[in-house]
Amino acid sequence: MMSQGEMTWTSGLIPMIEPEIVSEIISRIADVALVISSTGKVLGVLSNPNSKMQYAFSRWEGQPLSAHLTVESVPKFEERLAQFINGHDGLVRPVELNHTASRDQDEFPVRYSFHRIGTDGAILLLGQDLRPVAEMQQQLVAAQIALEKDYEAQREYDTRLRVLMSATQDGTLFLSAGSGEITDCNPSAVSLLGVSRGEILGQSLPDLVEPVESGKLLEVLGRAANAQTGQGVRVKTGGGRELNLRATLFRATGEQMMLCQLHDVEGASVRSDALEEHLTGLFERGADGIVFINKSGAVLSANDAFMRLTDVVHTQAVKGRTITDFLGRGSVDLNVICENATRTGAMRLYATRLIGENGVEIPVEIATTLLHGGLEPVFAMVIRDASRAEMVRKSSQQITDVDMRSVIELIGSQTLKGIVAKTTDVIEKMCIETAVELTSNNRVAAAEMLGLSRQSLYVKLRKYDLLKKEHDG
């Protein structure tokens, strides 16, 4: 259709275009254009002169395109090519292929669309360089990784702050310097203020405490913080407790914040039950001896009651010495006590004898607890004088009714000497069972505790049929 002497596109007719112009158009609309045969052989190559792809495409002519594709891209190309040749032109979507690297060029991705040209089966591939897209994707991935690292670092800092605040004995508050709203607090601050954590967070500090002297609390705190004298401001809680509040100003995310540290004016412990003071008083003035030893038995500290039990003049004469110097069975007692306390955490009662500086022995009962408070475990021993109750205290291993009846039945049928011998067997059996139980079936320690050789102990175990009992246990 002609209009004013020129051909138009409205009639559906495409004007005739010179071949060299067609080549220029194709090279301009794509970064690279390939003409291939139905077998995938490259018949011709056109590259866009304005493209950033600096690659010698001309050497591809006469070679299979798959020879210049990476391993994972070859099956993708062959599948799409077969679909296109089989007449599924409209269903064949563009395919992204990676080309192999060369000395001057790394691997690079290209997005190809398929177009049929001519009747000889030639196929036109128009390629778009995907390196800018790949670079943008890599930048997004790098940004995401950096963001995740920032989140991880933030979570780590938050965890450190929580642990630090929980371990800090001083009451600590974080609040806005402008509004006074409390954003965080530690357990010590909760105890000092006398309210729950939920009642503190989000609350304004002037609503919880008021200054002892006249003036607005936040203004007084601000002046004290700017003066940097280290002096605090006296405040009073709703329960009438006086606290010393010291503030430190800092800026976070553009907002001025305030760190407030709270101390009891009277110097009382943060714990409402004053546990530390009570424990100190018990150690210093307690009626029972208290000794702290390490795992090798060296005395770390001892109270006055232990000094009285051992006739030692003062504490310095005990520190550094081993507790075996004062135990009746020495290392045997120490091993039994430490092994049982280590295994169960505490040994409630252990009967032995305590040897004083002058050689005087007294029966004692020792309760031992394993503590994990420092670099190495510490054993706390509470030693009680059992001399007064020794004669009336019942043994933890009582003679059974069966054993007692068997002894009574002997009266009249045997002489006194025979009865005493039988009774001795019952007591001997009881002592052996107790020693084996205390030493956790350590026969060497049990024999040493009973003053027997290991072979003699073994004979007696067999005599009283205790070997079978041990194996069954």
pLDDT digits (tens, 9 = 90+) for 206-245: 888 888 877 788 888 888 888 766 677 888 888 788 888 8
pLDDT at residue number 395? 44
What secondary structure letter does DSSP report for 398? P
More confident residue, 470 or 424: 424
Q: With cut-offs at 50, 70 and 90, classify the pLDDT of residue 382.
A: very high
Q: Tell me the average pLDDT across 108-123.
A: 82
pLDDT at residue number 13? 57
Window from 91-105, 137-151, 277-291, 364-378 with minimum mean pLDDT? 91-105
CA distance 130 to 260: 57
Window from 23-27, 111-115, 137-141, 422-426 with minimum mean pLDDT? 23-27
pLDDT at residue number 233? 84
- Residue 6: pLDDT over 70: no
Please state the pTM of the whole predicted model.
0.39
Task: Please answer whether residues 273 and 287 qualify as being in contact, where contact means their C-beta atoms are separated by less than 8 angstroms.
Answer: no
CA distance 215 to 228: 19
Superfamily of domain 168-264: PAS domain (3.30.450.20)
Highest mean pLDDT out of 31-35, 46-50, 419-423: 31-35
Give the start-to-end residue ranges of the domains of the chain.
2-129, 131-159, 168-264, 273-393, 397-473
**CATH of the domain spanning 397-473:** 1.10.10
pLDDT digits (tens, 9 = 90+) for 323-358: 989 998 888 888 888 888 888 888 888 888 899 888
What secondary structure letter does DSSP report for 297? -
Burial 142-163 (b: 16+ CB within 10 A, else e): eeeeeeeeeeeeeeeeeeeeee
Chain mean position to CA 58: 61
pLDDT at residue number 291? 92
Classify 440 in phi/psi space as left (phi over 0), alpha (psi -120 to 50) or beta: left
Classify 172 in phi/psi space as left (phi over 0), alpha (psi -120 to 50) or beta: beta
Superfamily of domain 273-393: PAS domain (3.30.450.20)
Q: 2-129 belongs to which CATH class?
A: alpha beta
CA distance 465 to 173: 68
pLDDT digits (tens, 9 = 90+) for 174-191: 998 888 899 899 888 888
Matching CATH topology for 168-264 and 397-473?
no
pLDDT at residue number 225? 81
pLDDT digits (tens, 9 = 90+) for 396-408: 445 555 556 666 6
